[in-house]
C-alpha cells in the first residue's frame, strides 16, 4: 500500500508506515520545539503514531541544539546511549536533525555511524524521503546550505491543543559573537503577512486560543519583504492584523532584539487587546564594552533608554530578559554594570546563562580572555540571588488582583493542580476542581513566590 502527500506543491511518494511508532527527543530553544512539532506532523501524515517514550518507539528523531558548550557533549552522550536502543531491533531507525546536525554533519556521522539519517535545519520537509532512502540504501546524510522550502509549510502535531507556536521569520542577520544561529539557521527570511494570517486563522479553527509568534528577531520582521517598496519592519502592523482575527484570544512573541524596538511596537502591545502585556528585552550584558565585543548594536545607556521608553508607555508591563555571565574579558566592573541594570530595570524574570564557548563563533577564539570558572560561578550566584529577591517583590503586585487564566496543563507533581499563564505571562497554579484544559478562567491571585503565582477561581 502506498500513499501520496502534497507538501509545498511537491508530491512525495512514500510507503505507508501505519502501525509504526515514533518519538521525538528535543534539545534547545522554542524554534527547535516548533521544528519537532513539524517532524511529528510529517511522521503522523506518514501513518505513524506517537510512542509514550523512546523505549517503545520504532523511529526516534533527535532534534539537536548547539547554543551552549555542553550541548555537544549532551548530544554525543545521548547518541552513545541510543546505540544500545538501535541495536535492540533491526527495524528501528535513528534520525538526527537540528542545529548540531547542520553545523557538524560529518562529525555526527563519524561519532555515531549507527545513525540512519542526519538532516539539517533547512530541509526538514524532506525527512520522509530521507527515511525511505535509508531503508533502501542504508545511512544517509543530507545537509543543504540554502533553504528550499520554508519548514513552516509542514504540518504540525502540537503538545497543546490550545496554545501554538507560529513562525513568522527564520534565520538571523545579526552577528552576535557568542551565537551560532546565523551559521545554522541562515539569514533572516520573513514569511508573507498573508501566509502568517492564514496559518493563524487555521490554528484558531482547530481550537487554538493563544499563539506565540516565533523568530530569532521578531521585531525586525518584514524588513526583507520590502512591503510598499520600503525596507522597514512590519511587525506592529502584523500584530494589528492578527489582533483582528475572531476567536483568537491571546498573542505573545519571542524573541525581539533591543536595538530594533520602536515605539509603534510598544504602542501595539499597549493598545491591541489580544497582545499580552509582556515584553522580553534580551540584555545579555550591562557593560558597554562587553556589549561592543558581543556586537549587540547598543550600549548600556541606549538599553536603559529602551527600558524607560517601554515603561513610560506601559508602566505596568511585565519585563523579562536574558543575561550571559562571564563573557570573555568581563571584569568585576563590567559585571557591576550588569547588576546596575538588573536593579534599575526590575525585571519580572531573568533567563541567565554562564558563558559557553561555541565552535564557529567569534567568541570561541577569545580564549586568552576567558573568565575563570570560579569567578563566573560566584557572579552567577550573586545575579541569581539578586534577581530572586526582585522577582519575589515584583510578583507580589499580583496578589489580590483579578486575572484571566488560561488552563494549559496538569501539574507533573500533583494531579489535582492545573497550571497556566495569566496575561502578563506568569505561571499560575490553581486547584483542578471542575476546570478543564483550555478553559479561560477568571481568578483571584491569592499568593506569590519568586517563580509562580497561586490562584483561586472566582
Report whether 154 contacts 7 (CB < 8 A). yes
Beta strands in 185-235 (DSSP E): 189-190, 210-214
Last residue of one domain, picked from the residues 114, 142, 170: 142
Residues 162 and 135 in one domain: no
| 14 and 138 part of one domain | yes
Residue 103, helix vs strand vs coil: helix
- The pair phi, psi for residue 208, each rounded to 5°, is -70, 135
**From first to last of its 458 residues, what are the pLDDT tens digits of the chain?**
233 333 343 434 344 677 789 998 888 777 778 788 888 888 888 888 889 888 889 999 988 877 655 556 677 778 888 888 888 888 899 988 887 777 777 777 888 888 888 887 777 778 888 888 888 788 877 665 555 555 455 555 556 789 988 989 888 888 899 887 776 777 888 988 998 999 999 999 989 999 999 888 999 999 988 887 777 889 999 999 999 999 999 999 998 999 999 999 999 999 999 999 999 999 999 999 999 999 999 999 999 999 999 999 999 999 999 999 999 999 999 999 999 999 999 999 999 999 988 878 899 999 999 999 999 999 999 999 999 999 999 999 999 999 999 999 998 888 899 999 999 999 999 999 999 999 999 999 999 999 999 999 99
Same-domain status, 98 and 192: no
**How many residues are there in the chain?**
458
Task: Determine how many CB atoms are found less than 10 A away from the CB of residue 412.
Answer: 8
Within a domain: 231 = yes
**Per the domain annotation, does 248 fall within a domain?**
yes
DSSP letter at 192 equals P
Q: How many Cα atoms occupy the beta-carbon half-sphere of 45 within 13 Å?
A: 21
Last residue of a domain, one of 232, 261, 276: 276
| Residue 172 and residue 228 share a domain | yes
The two beta strands, 59-64 and 93-98, are: parallel
* Whole-angstrom distance, CA of residue 164 vs CA of residue 51: 21
Q: Do 167 and 86 lie in a common domain?
A: no
Same domain (yes/no): 91, 219: no
Same-domain check for residues 262 and 167: yes
Give the structural domain span for 246.
158-276
Domains identified in the chain, total number? 3
The answer for residues whose C-beta is within 8 angstroms of residue 11's C-beta and 6 or more apart is: 4, 5
Name the domain boundary from 276, 306, 333: 276
- Asked, for residue 451, whether it belongs to a domain, the answer is yes
Q: What is the domain-level CATH number for residue 427?
A: 2.40.50.140
Structural domain includes residue 362: no
Same domain, yes or no, for 112 and 50? yes
Residue 417: inside a domain: yes
Residue at 437 is within a domain = yes
**C-alpha span between 190 and 237 (Å, rounded):** 14
CA distance 256 to 280: 7
Q: For residue 75, tell me if it sits in a domain.
A: yes
Q: Which of 383, 220, 361, 190 is nearest to 297 (CA)?
A: 220
User: Which residue has cell 556521522?
Assistant: 109
Q: Where do runs of H (alpha helix) occur along 246-299?
A: 263-271, 288-294
Question: Does residue 111 sit within a domain?
Answer: yes
Residues 133 and 6 in one domain: yes
Q: What CATH number should be reported for the domain holding residue 77?
A: 3.40.50.12160
Does one domain contain both 246 and 207?
Answer: yes
Q: Are residues 87 and 198 in the same domain?
A: no
CATH number at residue 255: 3.30.750.210
Q: Taking a C-beta distance cutoff of 8 angstroms, is the pair 44, 13 a contact?
A: no
Which residues in 310-422 belong to E strands, given as ranges? 318-325, 349-354, 402-410, 417-421
192: cell is 508573507
Same domain? For 20 and 98 the reply is: yes
Amino acid at each position: 500500500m502506498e500513499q501520496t502527500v502534497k507538501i509545498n506543491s511537491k508530491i512525495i511518494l512514500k510507503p505507508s508506515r501505519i502501525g509504526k511508532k515514533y518519538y521525538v527527543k528535543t534539545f534547545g530553544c522554542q524554534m527547535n520545539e516548533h521544528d519537532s512539532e513539524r517532524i511529528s506532523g510529517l511522521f503522523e501524515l506518514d501513518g505513524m503514531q506517537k510512542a509514550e517514550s523512546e523505549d517503545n518507539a520504532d523511529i526516534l528523531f533527535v532534534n539537536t541544539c548547539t547554543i551552549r558548550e555542553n550541548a555537544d557533549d549532551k548530544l554525543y552522550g545521548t547518541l552513545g546511549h541510543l546505540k544500545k536502543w538501535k541495536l535492540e531491533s533491526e527495524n528501528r531507525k535513528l534520525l538526527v536533525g537540528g542545529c548540531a546536525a547542520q553545523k557538524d554533519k560529518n562529525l555526527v556521522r563519524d561519532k555515531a555511524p549507527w545513525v540512519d539519517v542526519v538532516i539539517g535545519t533547512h530541509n526538514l520537509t524532506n525527512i520522509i524521503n530521507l527515511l525511505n532512502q535509508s531503508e533502501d540504501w542504508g545511512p544517509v546524510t543530507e545537509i543543504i546550505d540554502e533553504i528550499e522550502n520554508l519548514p513552516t509549510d509542514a504540518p504540525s502535531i502540537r503538545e497543546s491543543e490550545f496554545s501554538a507556536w507560529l513562525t513568522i521569520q527564520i534565520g538571523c542577520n545579526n552577528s552576535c559573537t557568542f551565537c551560532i544561529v546565523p551559521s545554522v539557521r541562515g539569514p533572516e527570511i520573513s514569511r508573507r503577512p498573508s501566509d502568517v494570517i492564514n496559518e493563524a486563522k487555521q490554528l484558531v479553527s482547530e481550537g487554538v486560543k493563544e499563539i506565540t509568534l516565533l523568530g530569532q528577531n521578531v521585531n525586525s520582521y518584514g524588513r526583507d519583504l520590502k512591503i510598499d517598496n520600503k525596507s522597514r519592519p512590519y511587525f506592529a502592523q502584523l500584530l494589528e492584523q492578527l489582533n483582528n482575527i475572531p476567536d483568537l484570544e491571546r498573542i505573545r512573541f519571542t524573541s525581539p532584539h533591543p536595538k530594533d524596538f520602536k515605539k509603534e511596537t510598544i504602542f501595539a502591545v499597549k493598545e491591541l487587546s489580544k497582545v499580552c502585556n509582556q515584553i522580553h528585552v534580551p540584555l545579555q550584558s550591562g557593560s558597554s564594552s562587553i556589549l561592543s565585543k558581543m556586537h549587540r548594536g547598543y550600549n548600556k545607556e541606549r538599553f536603559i533608554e529602551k527600558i524607560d521608553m517601554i515603561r513610560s508607555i506601559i508602566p505596568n508591563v511585565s519585563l523579562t530578559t536574558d543575561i550571559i555571565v562571564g563573557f570573555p574579558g568581563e571584569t568585576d566592573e563590567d559585571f557591576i554594570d550588569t547588576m546596575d541594570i538588573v536593579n534599575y530595570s526590575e525585571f519580572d524574570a531573568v533567563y541567565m546563562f554562564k558563558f559557553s564557548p561555541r565552535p564557529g563563533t567569534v567568541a570561541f577564539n577569545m580564549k586568552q580572555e576567558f573568565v575563570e570558572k570560579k569567578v563566573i560561578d560566584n557572579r552567577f550566584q550573586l545575579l541569581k540571588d539578586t534577581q530572586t529577591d526582585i522577582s519575589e517583590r515584583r510578583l507580589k503586585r499580583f496578589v489580590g488582583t483579578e486575572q484571566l487564566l488560561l488552563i494549559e496543563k496538569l501539574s507533573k507533581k500533583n494531579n489535582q493542580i492545573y497550571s497556566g499563564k495569566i496575561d502578563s505571562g506568569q505561571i499560575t497554579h490553581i486547584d483542578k476542581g471542575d476546570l478543564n484544559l483550555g478553559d479561560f478562567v477568571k481568578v483571584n491571585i491569592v499568593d506569590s513566590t519568586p517563580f509562580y503565582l497561586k490562584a483561586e477561581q472566582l
